[in-house]
Amino acid sequence: MVMESKTTSKTSCLKALLLRAWRERWTDLQWGINIKTVLPRGVSGDVYNLADCILQQAVVGAGANQLVLSYLRHSLSAQLVSHAAVLQRLSKYNQFTKIFCVCSLLEFLEKMIPGVTCCSKLEETELATAILSTACWLLNIIHKCSGTSDLNLKATNVASSILKTILNDDFYISMMCLARYNDTELYAETSHKCSELLTFLPETDECYQYVKKLENIDVNMLSLKVRSEKWPGSLIPYWLEVKLVGNPAASTAVLVDQLRVFQRLKGYNDARLYGELIRGSLLALYDVNQTSHESQWGAFAFLKVPHILSELAKKSDSNSVVESIELLLQHTPLLDAMDANSSCSSLECLLGELAKVRLLTEVQVKHLLEKRKVPKAIKSDSGNGTAGIPKVIICAEPTLNGILKTLSTDYHKIQDALLGMLHQVLAGKSFELILAVATVQGQLRTLVNRLIRFNECSKSGGDKSRAQLFDISFLMLVAIVQNFGANTVIDPDGMSLVEQWVKSCMVEKNKPKAPEQLLRLGDPVMIDTLLQQFNAGETEIKVNVKWQDVLFNIPGVMHEVLVAWEQGALAAADVKRILDALRGRMCCLPLAAAAWLCAYMRTAQQDTLLKPVNMVQQLLAPPTTDEENLRDRWQLTCEIIRKMQRDVQLPLQSKSTHHLVSRQPAVEQLHQLWTKAITRGWLDHTSARAVHCLLETAGSKWLVSSVVHELCKLRFRDHLTRGVDLALAIFHVDIVGCTFELLVHVLPQLLYNSIQADMLKEPQMPALASLTSYCVYTAYDALSEIYEEPPNKKIHLSDTSEEIRMDNLINKLRQLFTMFDGGIQEGLITQQTYFAFYLIQSLVEVSCPSANAILAAIPHALISDLLKTLPEKCSYSLLLHLHDVRASGGKINMARDLCILRNHHLRGIPSANIS
């Protein structure tokens, strides 16, 4: 109550002083001298409603008192009153019939507008509300002062002009966006006024568009600068190779989610995104022409991509799909090369599949095919008797469906028919094609489960057909596990024979098996029986045998033979006879034998490897019998055994192009694949496999550091754009792990190590900042998707909660920014200062749902320091998108930063210090 009476008393003194000034006709300078005798030093006149007092006195009569208004103008210049207080008081004036007062107040406001700002932290959010309130007042004037008199026209014209001025100024727009969330009632009132005004304003009126703009004013009104990237891009072609080499069975949902992240990172429209995906898949297919990977990439390009596009487009209008194909048609050399390789029209096959998923109509397909100009040198569907890979893949789709349907029927009813079908599957490239189609359609696990069921049904003795059925299904399952990984295709808790054998005996990369442990699975009696049989050269297995009894005892047989040979009890000819008998009719037996020998050689001493290596080579020799259908089974068996040798890195008789270990230093490997990919704009299959190998052999810290150094060596901007894309794609071998290494180790070392920091300059610095922001968003989204999965869909999560890892990622980013803030010294601009700004700018420019969580990691002290240090690089749109206007702290910080930048801009405009 004491404070209230004091305020009232002081306000009375101000009013009395104002009356005296008017009576004695003080100049504004005299007013400025005398007002200081009433106001305490350092106290704003807003505390005592000084602006309200002056304006009330100014509009007492029919017209505004210009002398009194000059006192208000001087008070503003002397910062005795705030712009916020004056604007709030102006916006409360509602005597619109006093047109002379209205015009005078508008003229005062018009002169005031160029210099409106805030110099006190207490007034920052009030200023935003005051500006929106003033805009609402201008709408009222335009509405209620409309008339034919000169004064009315003048009032509405001036009000329209001021409205146009503030809605063309980024500072005012930013403050009104802030006010929208700071005072929802005021915004609702303003929006309603706009709607009323738009009902009678003609659309041709210049004011119409500004009223329309104010009606829905929001943060997105000040859009950030969109980076223009020429078509075609490189990120998606790079990423496709790295992603699918590491996980060819990646689900459509996973790929769609990642593509949407890339769309937000790059600002692609739908047509551009679809075009990049299609082009990337065709490039990858072209690269693996006539290799064992052709079927996999063919299935992806012609079967998987249409389903991905269907999910992305959600069966909306097909305009974006048509536009993406038109983009693709710009790349005639690629389409020509594809047609030449496949001897058919790749585009026609692709469009046919897009039509099947209803993304294109028949009319659109015909129109697009007419646009494709095929060179005369290319003859589609040549008469060499071989169909192109697109048509072969498309034909393999119904074949897979037929196989799955057959495998779902009763085993006993179709045993003979099933055996014939499986033999056909193994012929030529059929098995490879079937697996490729099953992979891209997400049917691989289904195929495996049904093969396991039939393998289980035939594992216990029986006739020759049953034995062959067991053998061929066993080989197929082992080949699938070997190609795709046990964790991908089989149940870790499965109890079938195949699942038990894979877990206990199969040689897998990075999953060594102890040879002694395999020997404990055997039965000495059974081992002796098998030894006697093979030593006698008998290839037939007893009819009533249980195949698990044979398979789990083969390691014991091989151990006995090896020991006897090493000790001289058996000669080389004896060993050959035993091995020839073992691989006589059943391919699963030499496979089991090779598995134990490879496991043994992984731990054996170098000088003892010769005999087991020779035994494996003998197992790979052609079979001694000419049994029908054995050749295809044997070819698959040899492929499996050779891959076992590669997985344990054992010496091979013939050179292989599939070694994961190279004699070349890792730095040279990375440099070569990097240079080739930057030059081409796409990554080949061999390089993508090498990337995965480098992660496994050198670790994520080395990989991230080396990739960043390669990026910083680039000099041209178009190369740097590709470099950022390539680096991001490479980091997708483990995007979360690589992002942690980048934030925690690589960036601090690069930025604060004087030797390395010299390589970080323009234009490399913004490129590295873009890469960092891309990694942060992608890693955060990857963790979010895993964490948000329903519990029954989470697969093999680490012990650490994904929620904790998300928080940890934000903390690491915050620590990096805190480090930057600690390094900014007043008057000293360093590389770290610029990098901090570029990183913040890049984080803001990305429009992702996770933006608020990530931007919240930026300390406000750092933003303020950068505003003071590099104000010329900052913009209102940047600040508007940097802060969360829906959070109270975000509103306060945004208002403060907007005013800091406003004051910097006003210092460069002498006439802006309006009074």
Per-residue pLDDT at 8 exceeds 80:
no
Q: What is the pLDDT of residues 337-385, one digit of tens each?
A: 998 888 788 999 999 999 999 999 999 999 999 988 776 555 544 434 3
Least confident of 274-283, 388-397, 784-793: 784-793
Per-residue pLDDT at 243 exceeds 90:
yes
DSSP string for residues in 298-337: HHIIIIIHHHHHHHHHTT--THHHHHHHHHHTT-HHHHHH
Residue 163 identity: L
- In which band, very low, low, confident or very high, does the pLDDT at 915 lie, cut at 50, 70 and 90? very low
Burial of 289-324, coded b for 16+ CB within 10 Å and e otherwise, reads beeebbbbbbbbbbbbbbbbbbbbbeeeebebbbbb
C-alpha 262/C-alpha 259 separation (Å) is 5
C-alpha 483/C-alpha 739 separation (Å) is 28
For residue 770, give both structure tokens.
């873009």
Per-residue pLDDT at 409 exceeds 90:
no
**More reliable by pLDDT, 782 or 460:** 782
Residues 6 or more apart in contact with residue 579 via CB below 8 angstroms: 534, 561, 590, 593, 615, 618, 619
Residues 6 or more apart in contact with residue 437 via CB below 8 angstroms: 299, 303, 393, 396, 397, 399, 400, 443
List helix spans (H) across 485-546.
Answer: 486-489, 497-504, 515-519, 524-535
- Side-chain-side CA neighbours of 91 within 13 Å: the count stands at 20
C-alpha 844/C-alpha 882 separation (Å) is 6
pLDDT of residue 301: 94
Q: What is the pLDDT of residues 21-37, one digit of tens each?
A: 999 999 989 998 898 88
Q: Give the pLDDT mean for 665-677.
A: 94
Residue 621 CB neighbour total at 10 angstroms: 14
pLDDT of residue 389: 86
Contact status, residue 859 vs residue 818, Cβ threshold 8 Å: yes
Per-residue pLDDT at 323 exceeds 70:
yes
Please state the pTM of the whole predicted model. 0.86
Q: Give the pLDDT mean for 221-243.
A: 87
Contact status, residue 733 vs residue 691, Cβ threshold 8 Å: yes
Q: Give the pLDDT mean for 530-541.
A: 84
Mean pLDDT of the chain: 87
Which backbone phi and psi does 837 adopt, to 5 degrees? Answer: -65, -45
Contact status, residue 325 vs residue 351, Cβ threshold 8 Å: yes
Q: Give the pLDDT mean for 634-652.
A: 81
pLDDT of residue 542: 65
C-alpha 144/C-alpha 197 separation (Å) is 10
C-alpha 134/C-alpha 354 separation (Å) is 55
Q: What is the pLDDT of residues 802-812, one digit of tens each?
A: 677 888 999 99
Q: Give the pLDDT mean for 380-402.
A: 73
**More reliable by pLDDT, 690 or 915:** 690
pLDDT of residue 626: 66
Q: What is the pLDDT of residues 155-189, one digit of tens each?
A: 999 999 999 999 999 999 999 999 999 999 999 99
Residue 665 CB neighbour total at 10 angstroms: 9
Stretch (H or E) spanning 201: none
Q: Give the pLDDT mean for 730-734.
A: 96
Q: What is the pLDDT of residues 246-262, one digit of tens each?
A: 888 888 999 999 999 99
Size of the chain, expressed as the number of residues it contains: 915
Whether the link from the prior residue into 40 is cis, omega within 30° of 0, is no
Residue 62 CB neighbour total at 10 angstroms: 9
Q: Give the pLDDT mean for 597-612.
A: 87
The CA angle 884-887-889, to the nearest 5 degrees, is 95
- In which band, very low, low, confident or very high, does the pLDDT at 653 lie, cut at 50, 70 and 90? very low
pLDDT of residue 730: 97
- What percentage of the chain has pLDDT greater than the value 90? 56
Residue 521 identity: L
C-alpha 608/C-alpha 594 separation (Å) is 16
Residue 144 identity: K
DSSP string for residues in 333-383: HHHHHHHHHHTS-HHHHHHHHHHHTTSS-HHHHHHHHHH----TT--TT-T
Bridge partners, 828 (sequence order): 825
Q: What is the pLDDT of residues 837-873, one digit of tens each?
A: 999 999 999 888 888 899 999 999 999 999 988 999 9
Per-residue pLDDT at 437 exceeds 90:
yes
For residue 615, give both structure tokens.
């035994």
Contact status, residue 166 vs residue 118, Cβ threshold 8 Å: no
- What percentage of the chain has pLDDT greater than the value 70? 90
- In which band, very low, low, confident or very high, does the pLDDT at 190 lie, cut at 50, 70 and 90? very high
3-state secondary structure 3-41: HHHHHHHHHHHHHHHHHHHHHCCCCHHHHHHHHCCCCCC
pLDDT of residue 628: 62
Per-residue pLDDT at 129 exceeds 90:
yes
pLDDT of residue 796: 41
Least confident of 46-50, 218-222, 752-756: 752-756
Contact status, residue 513 vs residue 506, Cβ threshold 8 Å: yes
Contact status, residue 378 vs residue 332, Cβ threshold 8 Å: no
Coil, strand, or helix at residue 686? Answer: helix
Per-residue pLDDT at 673 exceeds 90:
yes
